[in-house]
Amino acid sequence: MPKKKRQCDEAQLKWFEEALERIKKATGARTQVQLAEVLDVRQSSISDAKRRCSIPAEWFLKLYRSHGLDPDWLSEGVEPVYINASKAKIPADTLLRETPAPYGRMNSRGRVVPVSTMAGVDKEAATWEPKPIEELSVPESFCRPKLQVVKVDSASMEPVIGRGAFVGIDRDQNEHPDGDLCAVYFPHQGLTIRRVYMQGDTFLLKAENEKYSDLTIPAAEMDQRTVGRVIWVLQNLSPM
């Protein structure tokens, strides 16, 4: 009987795909044809490697010689990117913007997203629009089709959410379950994040910090003023 071919398990396939993706990004190869040219191998060799979920050691050696790349970074994503930076074709900072982020699932691939101020573009406007001020790498598992990330500039939700924290808001979610954290816009003030409770024909927006007053909004205005629900918070818990 013919010998059964060895099958890759899920973990091996994930490792292979991530390592191959690092090779493509570091060399600028977008297709299998281009990758074969960079590695000076046949296209069938790449297909064979994928079937085995194994990257030949000689590929890593070739990439060190041609691009100065560190085999440990190619294989495991461990920095530095380059051993010989003088042969670098693409700046390391550009490559690292797409590397795994330190939060979320193990080895979750990161995505760079814009971060807005709480004030937005214009605090006088009737609706809130984001004003990007920086970027943040977050795991893909943290992303949503309408994700909005803001940097908190208020202490109203301390100690749950500290000043300077990054907050992920899903703009597709406009429901207001009691006790959930929602991002709500107040003209002339900007965005605020509070726990929301419905009380008759009004909504109570409750602060965690006792030094801040609770806010109220007529129920009829709540849908229009709600930017979305908070789905995650990233912050430094260590004393500054």
Q: Are 127 and 94 in contact (CB under 8 A)?
A: no
* pLDDT for the residue 3: 41
Residue 228 backbone class (left: φ over 0; alpha: ψ -120 to 50; beta: rest): left
In the block, which residue shows the tokens 């995505």?
111
> What is the spatial distance between Cα 20 and Cα 192, in angstroms, rounded to a whole number?
43
* pLDDT for the residue 5: 47
133 and 218 in a common domain: yes
* pLDDT for the residue 97: 64
117 and 81 in a common domain: no
Position 162 in a domain: yes
* pLDDT for the residue 2: 40
64 and 128 in a common domain: no
C-alpha distances (whole Å) from 13 to each of 9, 17, 95, 111, 201 are 6, 6, 22, 21, 54
140 and 228 in a common domain: yes
Last residue of one domain, picked from the residues 61, 91, 121: 91
Phi and psi torsions of 11, nearest 5°? -65, -40
Directed axis angle between helix 43-52 and helix 10-27, to 10°?
150
Residue 52 backbone class (left: φ over 0; alpha: ψ -120 to 50; beta: rest): alpha
221 and 133 in a common domain: yes
177 and 122 in a common domain: yes
171 and 76 in a common domain: no
Task: Please name the residues in contact with 26: beta carbons below 8 A apart, sequence gap of 6 or more.
Answer: 63, 67, 69, 74, 81, 89, 90, 95
CATH number at residue 69: 1.10.260.40
Position 107 in a domain: no
CATH number at residue 187: 2.10.109.10
133 and 86 in a common domain: no
**Sign of the CA dihedral 226, 231, 237, 240?**
negative
Domain that holds residue 131: 112-234
153 and 64 in a common domain: no
**Looking at the 3D structure of the chain, how many domains does it have?**
2
* pLDDT for the residue 126: 85
> What is the spatial distance between Cα 121 and Cα 29, in angstroms, rounded to a whole number?
38
205 and 140 in a common domain: yes
* pLDDT for the residue 216: 92
130 and 224 in a common domain: yes
Mean pLDDT by 10 residues, the chain (240 residues): 56 88 87 89 90 91 92 87 86 67 50 89 87 86 88 92 93 84 91 92 92 92 92 77
119 and 65 in a common domain: no
Task: Please name the residues in contact with 205: beta carbons below 8 A apart, sequence gap of 6 or more.
Answer: 182, 184, 192, 194, 195, 196, 214, 215, 216, 217
* pLDDT for the residue 166: 95
